[in-house]
A and B are shown apart, each in its own frame.
Chain A
Amino acid sequence: MAELMAAGEEPEILFWVGCAGSYDERAQKITRDICKILHHVGMKYAVLGTEESCTGDPAKRAGNEFLFQMQAMTNIEVLNAYNIKKIVTGCPHCFNTIKNEYPGLGGTYEVIHHTQLIQDLINDGKLKAEGGESFKGKKITYHDPCYLGRGNGIYEAPRKALEVLDAQLVEMKRCKSNGLCCGAGGAQMFKEPEKGKKDINVERIDEALETNPQVIAAGCPFCMTMLSDGIKLKDKEQEVKVLDIAEITARANGL
C-alpha cells in the first residue's frame, strides 16, 4: 500500500489479509489464491503488508476490550491515512470486526468477505469456472463460518461460488442459520477446550462426513484449521479435501 501511495495511486480495493492469512502456512495458500483471483480479473488491489496488524477480534471475544480498542484505533489510523474506501478480507472474523465494530471507533469502510467478492465477480461475468480443474459432479459440502453466517447473515455468496462449478452441493444436517460452529470462535482457537465428551471440530467433521463429500468447503482460516485437524484425526486426508472457497475458485480457473 505504501508503494501505491508513494506513486500517488489509489487501489480499487484493499485486501485485508489477516493474521492467519499472513502467518498460518495453510492459510497463506488461501491468501495467495485470493491474490491470484484479484490479479486474474485485473482488479487493482493493495495489501498493507507489515503495516497490517491484528484487528483485535480475538482479544474482544476473550473480553479484553482495552486491547481490542488499542488495535482497532491503530488500524483505523492507518486505514484512514491511506484513505481506504473498500476492503475485502480473507477471514470472517476480520470482516465482522472491521465492518461492524470499527465504524463506532471512527473507521467506516465498505467491507466484504472474499466469498462476496467472488460472488460479485461471477455475477458481473468477470469470473467463471473454466480453464482449470473440473469440479463437475463432485460432492461438495459447505461449512458456514459463524461470523459470516449467523453473525452477518451471509449464506448465499459462498454457495453461489460453488454453484458455478456444476458440482453436486450437499448440505449438512446443521447448515446455514442452524450451522454448527467448528469450535474455534470466541478465542477458543487459542486455548484448549474445556472438559467434555468430544471436541467440537470432531462433532462437526462427523456430520460433514455423513454427506460423503469429496470436498469440504470452508470460508474461514480458523474453520480450515479445525476441519483439517478433524479430517486428519479421522484419517480421511486422502479421500476428503478441505478447501477454502478461494482455493476452489482459483483451481477451477487454473490459476
Chain B
Amino acid sequence: MVAQILFLVITLAAIALFTVNLRKIFRNIRLGKSVDRNDQPVKRLITMMRVAFGQSKMVVRPIPAFLHFFVYIGFVIINIEVLEIMIDGLFGTHRVFHGLGGFYNFLIGSFEILAFTVWAACVIFLIRRNVLKLKRFSGVEMTKWPKSDANYILITEILLMSAFLLMNAADAKLQLLGASHYINAGAFPVSQYLMNLLPSTESALVIVERSCWWFHIIGILAFLNYLPYSKHFHILFAFPNTYFSNLEPKGEFTNMASVNNEVKAMLDPSFVPAETEPGKFGAKDATDLSWINLMNAYTCTECGRCTSVCPANITGKLLSPRKIMMDTRDRITEIGKGIDQNGAEHQDGKSLLDDYITREEIWACTSCNACVEACPVNIDPLQIIMELRRFAVMEESQAPASINAMMSNVENNQAPWKYSPADRFNWADEK
C-alpha cells in the first residue's frame, strides 16, 4: 500500500512538473509572430505520417536510419509496456495484462527483442559520437552542453533498457522458482540469457526485480522531465513540426504583406492602405520570428544533417544552419526565463542578431535550400536567415557594400549590374 501511494505521488509530481515546463515552451513559441498554417489539413496529415511516423527523410543516410528506426520503434512500442507498469504500480497488481495469454507472451517477447535492439543501437550511437567522432557531431555550435546532452540521452536509454531486461530476467527466474505473486506469464527471449548472472535465492531476486522495476519507471518519469531541457524534445515535436511544415515549393519566399501596402501606395498615390499596426521589417530578435520558426527551434535535435550539406559550411564559412536553430532556441528560452523572472515587459538588451548570430553568418547563405531538404523533421533554417537579412537591409540599411551596389543597380538600371536599360535588347543584334 505504501508502495502504491509512493508510486502515485511520484507519477503525479512528474506529470505536473512536465506540464509546467511544457506550458513554458508553448508560451515561448507563442511569443512568435502569428502565421496561418491550418490550410490543407489532409496534405499536412499525410506529410506528418510520411516524414515523422514514416521516417521518410531518414533513409537518405541508411546506417543511422536503420539504427534510429529501432530506437524509434522501441520508443513507440515499449510505451505499451509502460501502461502495464503504470497500472501495476497504482493497483499493486503484477503483470496485469497476463490474461491476454499467448498474445501477452508475444508482446513481452517482442518488447524484449526491441529493448535489446534499442540498447545495441544506443551503444553504437555512443561509439559513433565518442570513439569514431563523426564529423557531423562536431562544429562551433557543438560545445560542451550539446555533446553531453546527446551522451546523457543515450546513456539513459541504455540504462532504462538494461533495467527492463534485468527486471524480466529476475521475474522469469522467480517464476521458475514458483514464487508467490510472480505469476507465470511472458516470454523472455533476451533476458533468459541474463538469468545466470542473478542470485538464486528468492528474496534476493525479489530485491533485484523490484529495484529494476522502480529504476525503470522512475527513470522514464525523470527522462520525461529531462526532455524540455534537451534536444531530445524532438520525439514529441517532430509530429506537430512536420504537420505545420511548409507545403509550398522551397524556392518560394513569402511576400511581406506589410511591404505590399507601402509599395502599392508608392506606385499608385490614390491607394489608401488599410490600417495596419506598424511593425518591424524582418527579425532582429527571436520574438520577431514566426511561431513556426520557434517551434522549429524546439524541434531541432542537433543531428547536423543541415550543416553537413550546407555549401557555406562545407567550404569553411562560419555559417552553420544547425547553429541558427540552436541559437534561436537558446535565445527564445532566455527571453522566456526573463519573462518568468521579471514580467512580460522585461527587456534584457540582447538580441538574436549580433548577440547570438553574426552578420557574417547570415550573409554567407546561398539560399540553396540544402539544409531544408536535409532536415528529417522539416525544419527551415533558411527562413530565419532571410528574416534576419530583411531586418539588416530594411530596418538598418546594413548590407555588404557590394549588395548595396547591386540593389542600387536594380533600382536605377532595372538590372543587378550597371548597364543601361536601353541596351537590354542588344543581345539580339550580335551574332
Binding site for B on A (CB under 8 A): 17, 19, 21-23, 28, 31-32, 35, 47, 49-50, 52-54, 56, 58-67, 69-71, 73-74, 96, 100-101, 104-105, 146-147, 150-153, 174, 177-181, 183-200, 202-204
**B262 close to chain A: CB less than 8 A:** yes
Contact of A65 with B312 in the complex, beta carbons under 8 Å: no
Q: List 19 A-B pairs, Cβ < 8 Å.
A: A19-B416, A23-B415, A23-B423, A47-B428, A58-B416, A62-B406, A63-B399, A64-B393, A64-B399, A65-B256, A67-B407, A70-B266, A70-B267, A151-B252, A151-B369, A152-B250, A178-B60, A181-B368, A200-B366
Contact of A67 with B424 in the complex, beta carbons under 8 Å: no
Top 8 closest pairs, chain A to chain B, by CB:
A151-B251, A186-B367, A63-B389, A197-B316, A100-B252, A181-B368, A196-B316, A53-B414
Binding site for A on B (CB under 8 A): 60, 248-253, 255-256, 259-260, 262-264, 266-267, 281-282, 309, 311-312, 314-319, 360, 363-370, 372-374, 386, 388-394, 399-400, 402-403, 405-407, 410-411, 414-417, 419, 421-428, 430-431
User: Chain A's nearest CB lies how many Å from the CB of B313?
Assistant: 9
Residue of A with least CB distance to B395: A63
User: Chain A's nearest CB lies how many Å from the CB of B258?
Assistant: 9
Residue of A with least CB distance to B263: A69
Across-interface contacts of A174 in B (CB, < 8 A): 309
User: Chain B's nearest CB lies how many Å from the CB of A107?
Assistant: 11
B367, B368, B426: residue with the most chain A Cβ atoms closer than 10 Å = B368
User: Total contacts A to B, CB within 8 angstroms?
Assistant: 215
Across-interface contacts of A23 in B (CB, < 8 A): 415, 417, 419, 423-424, 427
Residue of A with least CB distance to B318: A194
Contact (A63, B393) CB under 8 Å given A178-B373, A180-B311? yes
Residue of A with least CB distance to B248: A100
Across-interface contacts of A177 in B (CB, < 8 A): 373
Across-interface contacts of A184 in B (CB, < 8 A): 366
Contact of A101 with B427 in the complex, beta carbons under 8 Å: no
Contact of B421 with A181 in the complex, beta carbons under 8 Å: no
Contact (A64, B394) CB under 8 Å given A191-B402, A194-B364? yes
Across-interface contacts of A204 in B (CB, < 8 A): 311
Known contacts A54-B410, A200-B314; 10 additional CB pairs below 8 A are: A19-B417, A22-B425, A60-B253, A64-B407, A185-B367, A186-B366, A191-B402, A191-B406, A192-B400, A196-B316
User: Chain A's nearest CB lies how many Å from the CB of B431?
Assistant: 8
B314, B394, B419: residue with the most chain A Cβ atoms closer than 10 Å = B314
User: Chain A's nearest CB lies how many Å from the CB of B285?
Assistant: 16
Distance in angstroms between the alpha carbons of A31 and B269 in the assembled complex: 37
Contact of A54 with B415 in the complex, beta carbons under 8 Å: yes
Distance in angstroms between the alpha carbons of A181 and B311 in the assembled complex: 6
